[in-house]
Structure 1
Amino acid sequence: MSEQIVNDEEYHVASYVAHAMPDQIELIQHEINQLEGAEIHATSDIGKIVFTLEATNQKKIANLIDTIRHHKGLLNLAPVYHQFLNE
């Protein structure tokens, strides 16, 4: 059996712009706010939501995004920035 090495000192932050249907903004904001490490920074009346995710690895970021990307009220989800640091 191989042993997986986990680096607990890795830190990832990724930012996204989501475009939601205007009548679904509050529901999608609620779903984003339920994600561990998520923070919404701005929302517009036309449905744009700017948010960041923080996690200890890239796989966690991808899993968090997968939980919302198929929401029926989400028109588009675009990554803006991703940075990781080894502390």
Structure 2
Amino acid sequence: MNEVEYHVASFVAHVMPEHVEELSELISLQQGGQVHAVSEDGKIVFTIEASSHKAVDHLLTPIRLHNSVMSLSPVYHQFLNEQQAS
């Protein structure tokens, strides 16, 4: 039996300042992606919610590979299984 999981992971991306809006939109378009803060110097704080660790990585890949990303740092990752969530 496959156990249902819920993952939430947060990240800080440092991007070229002229691409902040473009990357923020890309993050928001990812299913479960949400931008929480943006700074003038190109830092974006965001989260990704997904059903597995693999799904988080899959959703993060186009963000990580974007040509304006200078660095991408994980901040937090939590997961719950179905039993923990009830």
Of the two, which has the highest radius of gyration? 1
1:84: Cα distance to partner? 0.3
Please state which structure has a larger fraction of its residues in helix. Answer: 2
1:2-58 CA distance string (max 9 Å, x none): xxx533x21000000000100010110011011000111100000000000000100
Aligned pairs (5 A) from 1:42-81: 42-81=37-76
How many percent of aligned residue pairs carry the same amino acid? 49
2:2 match: 6
TM-score of the superposition, structure 2-length normalised? Answer: 0.90
- Deviation larger for 64-73 or 45-54: 64-73
Q: Following TM superposition, where does structure 1 have runs of at least 4 consecutive aligned residues deviating by more than 6 angstroms?
A: none
Aligned residue pair count: 82
Q: Which runs of 5+ in 1 are unaligned?
A: none
> Matched residue of 2:30: which SS?
coil
1:70: Cα distance to partner? 1.2
> Matched residue of 1:53: which SS?
strand
1:67: Cα distance to partner? 1.4
TM-score of the superposition, structure 1-length normalised? Answer: 0.89
